[in-house]
Amino acid sequence: MIDVGDKPVSLRTATAEGVLRFGEETYSLIRDGSSPKGNIHEMARISGTMGAKKTPDLIPYCHPIPIDSIKVNTRIERTCITITVNVKGIWNTGVEMEALTGVSIAALSVYDILKPLDSSVTIESIKLLEKHGGLGDFKEKQPLEVSAAVLTISDSRTIEEDKSGKLLIEVLKNQGFRIVEYKILPDDKEIITNELLKMTDDKKVNIVITTGGTGVGPRDVTPEATSNILEKELNGIVENLRGYGQKRTPLSMLSRGMAGIRGNTLIINMPGSYTAVTQSLNALFPGIVHIFRMISGDNHHK
């Protein structure tokens, strides 16, 4: 199976539809759910629910995921019956296969009921109507000319050894940011503070990400340097980063990183390790992109 462990958990929904067509003379026999094999509508609801739940047992590469809701509806017309299955779950991957499997099993169950009554019955179509959730729902067009600076905080690391800083640069570029500064600074509170002021007040950089100096060691002072200059703290960002990391390592809770705004600049502290930065970036994008529209005064939008 594909590894979805790095994807952030989010609300996922999907709706699938199946259509069975039959002869017009069959309509009166099944309209009230009084066919020889039982109530068609109840059978569709039960079998559709069971089918959605059993999806990972039937589809080899589907992940077993928690499902919060399954709703099966039927609509009968003169020559057809339409079945819809809506599935909802909060997880790392989508629920479209659960919706499609549920409607497929429901359609087969109804077919089984109708075939003694009408040899012409067919399953005409099974299709996905819509799906929502995951990163795709939160991607939005990056504002033009969004600049970024990366500051690695370390007494000993060189540019050649700085995997975390280079990863930040690579991801930011891929997200459409223009890198205007990359430096390695010592674990010195005054130096870090002055560099942040230079990035925010002088260069007007849109986002500054620091990596390193967020732990509990005697030289870890990045959060203190950041706190000195912030005008608005954004606790939700660091809570999300630590929460995401804590599910993958018990050490994430020891990070003291901060996030906030000074002027029109977003500042985010990330840990120093390459693995921790990778996890933080997975949790940060694409949701963080919306903040630049908010800072600039644009109306909030979905």
- Is 112 among the catalytic positions? yes
Q: Between 71 and 41, whose confidence is greater? A: 71
Coil/strand/helix, residue 251: coil
**Residues 17 and 116 both lie in one domain:** yes
Q: Which amino acid is at 236?
A: G
In-domain check, residue 300: no
CB atoms within 10 A of CB 156: 8
- State yes or no: pLDDT of 302 exceeds 50: no
Question: Which residue in 112, 155, 201, 298 is the catalytic one?
Answer: 112
Alpha-helical runs (H) found in 54-162: 55-58, 96-114
- Apex 141 CA angle, 136 and 147, nearest 5: 120
Number of domains in the chain: 2
Domain shared by 168 and 233, yes or no: yes
d(CA 176, CA 131): 27
User: Rounded to an integer, what is the distance from CA 293 to the centroid of its chain?
Assistant: 20
Amino acid (1-letter code) at residue 34: S
Residue 23 lies in a domain: yes
CA distance 280 to 12: 22
pLDDT at 36 exceeding the cut of 80: no
Residue 2 lies in a domain: no
Per-residue pLDDT, 280 = 87
Q: Please give the share of the chain, as a percent, with pLDDT higher than 70.
A: 92
Is the pLDDT reported for residue 142 higher than 70?
no
Structural domain harbouring 15: 10-137
Indicate whether 146 and 282 sit together in one domain: yes
- Average pLDDT value over all residues in the chain: 89
Query: Is 70 exceeded by the pLDDT of residue 294?
Result: yes
From 112, 137, 162, the end of a domain falls on 137
Given a cut of 60, whether residue 252 has pLDDT beyond it is yes
Both 161 and 101 in one domain: the answer is no
Q: At what angle do helices 163-174 and 274-284 cross, to 10 degrees?
A: 20
Provide the whole-model pTM: 0.73
